[in-house]
Structure 1
């Protein structure tokens, strides 16, 4: 099973009886109960002509209980659907049920180690008149050295899972 760009990356799938087989990881999805991975494992199937042929059986499984990484495999291109984190109770009390979409970058004095802070547009600490960034631009800004996420407005809680990448799902605490 060679790993080529046209096929999903390999992943070890743990079967209900504890056996481990190498399958393919097609996509992953975060749910309120944890992570689900859509995987395929090799199997056999009967054809209409009465013969047996190799096939792939595809199913959703819980991660990390039913999957393990394959050493050397890259999972960065696997389609991933993240669960939008609801703001904490204190954030809901401060901001109300809805907040404006987007993010605002507060530029800080360049002499210190912190270069900027990402805020929700209605955060009390957000600079007035600053342009509102869409998600991709906000993630690009957050990825730069010296930029941190505001904990007052929930920017950290909402953007941090998107910055962590694939490690989400393999760690039981994620």
Structure 2
């Protein structure tokens, strides 16, 4: 089933268990069955700062695993929630998001004096040079640790490789 767009979906309340054990009421937008269990797309209440410097209500949407992180609200019907189920005849790959090609592409850039700087891209990135050999994750991480190297944020290299380079050191007890 194709979930409706945001303007068609009517979210319903659901309880979400936060990492510290707190439970809050959020909005359930969709649910999806995967081979290893169910995922629920929930909208968590939040705030954001618009450019005018004020504060406004916002919603942070995220897919979470059920039942560990999601609990029903008593008396609420979930029948109308857009639901994607695995069917016995459908291959598992149909339920998963499309995958990008494996590996990484290293683009050397010269900019004035000094050594060339490396930019790490996914092979299907529109800024990746054609015909350049694809390297494995270990070579990509080695290149990313060199002075002046950067990970492309357009193709997701930064989102995928940065946690491997830095772990979760950026998270403090204050957050």
The answer to which structure, 1 or 2, has the higher relative contact order (CA under 8 A, 6+ apart) is: 1
- After TM superposition, the score normalised by the length of structure 1 is 0.45
